[in-house]
Structure formats: C-alpha cells, structure tokens
Amino acid sequence: MLKRFWPIVIILISMASVQGSSSLAKHLFPILGPAGMTAWRLVFSSIMLVLIFKPWRKAVSKQAWKYIILYGLALGCMNFCFYAAISRIPIGIAVAIELTGPIMVAMCAARKLIDFIWLAIAITGLIMLLPIHQANADLDFVGIFLALGAGACWAMYIVFGRKAGQLHGSSSVAIGSVMVSIVIFPIGLWQSGDVMFSLDVLPLALLVALLASAIPYALDMIALPKVPALTFSTLMSLSPVLGALSGLMFLGETLSGYQWFSIMLIILSSIGTVLSIAHKPKIKSIGEKT
C-alpha cells in the first residue's frame, strides 16, 4: 500500500512547496515588489537548472532557438504576471484563475459535448470570481486581469515548451530560463533599486527559488516515472486549494464560501478535462510550471 501511494504523497509535497513559495514571495513584496521578486526567482532558478541540465553540452539548432526564446518569454511573463496578481488578490483565487490557461490548451483537443460542458463550468467559475458581484466587490480587477495574463502565458509555456523539448530536449528549460533572467533582472533592479542586494533579502529570495523550482523539480523527477500522466494532471488540478490554504496559514488570507465555490468549479472543470481527454501513459515532456 505504501509503495503504491508514496509517489502521490511526493507530488502533493511538491505542489505544497510551490504554493508555499508564493506566500513567502508575497511576504517580500513590500521590500522587493513583484518585479524584484520575479527577477531573483528567475536568476536563482536559472543557476540551479543550468547546474542540473548542463546545456552547454549540446548545440542548439536554428529551429530550436525560436521556440526556446518563446518558451523563455512565456516563462518570464507567467512568473511576473502571477506575482503581480497575488500582490493584489488572494493566492488561491489567482491560482484558480491561472489554471484556466492549461484548461484552454487541453480544450484545443475538444471534440465531444462533455468537453464543452467542462469548459462552460470553468468559464462559469471564472465569471463568478469577477468583481461584478457583491460577493467579490473587494477583489481587485487588475489583479484578476493579471492572473488571466499568467494563465495565458502558462498556456504558451506549455505549447512552446513542448515544442522546444521535442527539438532540443530538457536542457531547453535551462537556456530559456537564463535568457529571460537577463531580460527581467534589469527591470526588477530598476523598480527595486539597491534593496535587491540586501543581505536580509537575498537568503529569502533564494529560499523562494528553492521552494518554487529546485525542490519541486527534484521531487517530481523522483515521482513522475511512477505515476500515470492522468493521475499527475488530476493532482495538479488541486493547486488552487493548496494555494488558498497557503495564503490562509501564512498570510491570513480568507475566502468567502462564494469564492470557494467558484474555485471548486474551476477545479472540477480541470479534473473533468483531464478525465475526458486522452493522455499518454507517462509524463515525457519538459514538465510542469517552473
């Protein structure tokens, strides 16, 4: 029994690490701001990924460069939009809205009526989260828009990352991360100034990168070969719940019953999409969100 379920436990720990890193990052926003936090996360993550994949060992083809660049830009914009979103709205809500990106990618393969039912459920949950209802009057519209932007970038991350991985392999993630770090870091430095290099900030920024990228990636590398893609995708659908719990535990963010119901509709749509669309038996592409 333990042998059967330990990979699932490891994936849940990995997801909790990612969502916990969001709470820590948000704690640093008054000092670094979303741009500064995004810059350090990308820099530290890039260093880790370069050490893991050693991208210098394989030449990059001209065709691969295009998709690696697009992948890197999607990665950087996804991180920045998400951090900017959670600076304005609760983490659980931002994660739920961002999840609509992968749902839309999956829906590109929609052929059956049930697929469009799942899509309608996701859209219903999303509309319910908009600040056009009295229950969500306190939600920041810009924050919701940024979370949607993060979701759109996540969709592009999946599409371009898959293509880059097919053309150049897993080291594409390291090259793309380094390239976008070079672009984002000056922006973070311009917005945050000298505080970016404060010895009080650097260890916490490194911890965010470890929790958000290095630790989850290592855990997933251990667990993914043991878990069917269907199981993995279904578990990933629970990310908004872990995000909401992380925000509650570490930041005191509370959600109303109405908001929880809206999030659950999006989660239901994600799980339903996973179950209704065929998947390969194992995860073989670049992987989940970095």
- Tell me how far CA of residue 22 lies from CA of 53, 86, 149, 157, 168, in angstroms: 25, 8, 17, 19, 30
Query: How far from chain centre, in Å, is Cα 240?
Result: 11
Please answer whether residues 216 and 17 qualify as being in contact, where contact means their C-beta atoms are separated by less than 8 angstroms.
Answer: yes
Provide the pLDDT for residue 33.
Answer: 95
Q: Which H or E run contains 51?
A: helix 2-53
pLDDT in 10s for each residue of the chain, 290 residues: 556 678 888 889 999 999 999 999 999 999 999 999 999 999 999 998 899 889 988 899 989 999 999 999 999 999 999 999 999 999 999 999 999 998 888 777 667 788 888 889 999 999 888 876 666 767 899 999 999 999 999 999 989 988 998 898 888 989 999 999 999 999 999 999 999 999 989 999 999 999 998 788 778 767 777 777 667 778 888 899 999 999 999 999 999 999 999 999 999 999 888 887 654 444 444 344 54
Q: What is the pLDDT of residue 279?
A: 44
What does the pLDDT read at residue 280? 42
Q: What is the pLDDT of residue 138?
A: 78
* pLDDT at res. 52: 85
CA distances from 56 to 50, 75, 166 (A): 9, 21, 18
Phi/psi at 257 (nearest 5 deg)? -60, -35
In this prediction, residue 289 carries a pLDDT of: 58
Alpha helices, H only, 60-171: 62-86, 91-98, 100-107, 113-129, 141-168
Euclidean distance between CA atoms 77 and 53, whole angstroms: 23
Other C-beta atoms closer than 10 Å to the C-beta of 216 total: 25
What is the CA angle 126-131-265, rounded to 5?
25
pTM: 0.90
Question: According to the model, what pLDDT value does residue 97 have?
Answer: 94
